[in-house]
Amino acid sequence: MGICDHRTIIVTGSGSGLGRQYALALAAEGANVVVNDIRQEMADAVVAEIAAAGGKAVAACADITSMSGADAIIAAGIEAFGDVHGVVNNAGIVRDRMFASLSEDDWDLVIKVHLKGHFCIASRLVQRWREQSKAGQKVDARIVNTSSGAGLQGSIGQSNYAAAKGGIASLTLVQAAELARYGITANALVPAARTGMTEGPFGAMMKKPEDGSFDHYDPANVAPLVVWLCSPLSAQVSGKVFEVEGGKVSIASGWKTGPVRDKKARWQPAELTDVVAALIAESPPAQKVYGA
């Protein structure tokens, strides 16, 4: 018996890296897994790996950035397993450039894959779950999004990626607030792990230790939290952004209203120099932008 028995979970971008580890871990805990990846051979390999270990999975390689693609992915899960109970929005890309050198295509593609990719499947699933709830069916559904430290603090050379990942964190908060009435939770991950997207800038820092010690950046370290978030055990947890790295788990503390000065009248522009200086002095400093 596993904590995800009889649940069907879609994992986007699960042909390799973090997504593959999520798919394997979910299957090991009893979930039926819909393995989504744009690379058919990679998705098929993960499905075969799950089947060899005694689990159940199906490949669905449609485009996550279109509603027709989302419909096809969800349909694959329903056809194979009868229903879908959650999605782990993991797929992503990077097109790193300094902001002054960023092209329109660099911006559009990253925003499309991350933000629209998070929207399409979740939107279609939420519509399905809402109808189930209105029909009197008990819904216990999950949306697990993927933000990033770049989205929370910013990252030099990744303004497009940081904007998308920051948007995903905010999207998660709104989803959680709006969808609780239907039995749907929404949470986000901020994983720090070794993947294809980290090989360039963080390859040396994240490499596997040669001495056999704990592999801090192994993507498998993130998977247990994903499994738990997809399970019935997490039903009371929503609207959280979890940071996960090695053996560490934390919940990110988001934007809050800080110190206030209220003149109870309109400010004159020149007055604000001292006011802003005082507010900055009283505010806790933000974490540094990555690479700054």
Tokens of 224: 């247990």
Query: Which residue, 90, 200, 226, is CA-closest to 147?
Result: 90
Question: What gap in Å lies between CA 80 and CA 122, rounded to an integer?
Answer: 19
Known active-site residue 148? yes
State phi, psi for 243 to the nearest 5 degrees.
-95, 130
Q: Which of 22, 161, 217, 290 is catalytic?
A: 161
Question: What are the φ and ψ backbone dihedral angles of 58, each rounded to 5 degrees?
Answer: -140, 145
291 within 8 A of 155, measured Cβ to Cβ: yes
User: How far apart are the C-alpha atoms of 50 and 144, rounded to whole Å?
Assistant: 21
Rounded to 5°, angle at Cα 154 from 149 and 156: 115
At position 226, the amino acid (one-letter code) is V
Element (H, E) at 33: strand 32-35
Spatial CB neighbours of 274, under 8 Å, sequence gap ≥ 6: none
Q: Which of 14, 147, 155, 165 is catalytic?
A: 165
Residue ranges of E strands in 84-153: 86-88, 141-146
Catalytic choice (147, 148, 159, 234):
148
Q: Which residues have a Cβ under 8 Å from the Cβ of 204 and sit 6 or more positions away? A: none
Contacts of 181 (CB under 8 A, 6+ apart): 133
Which residues are known to be catalytic? 148, 161, 165
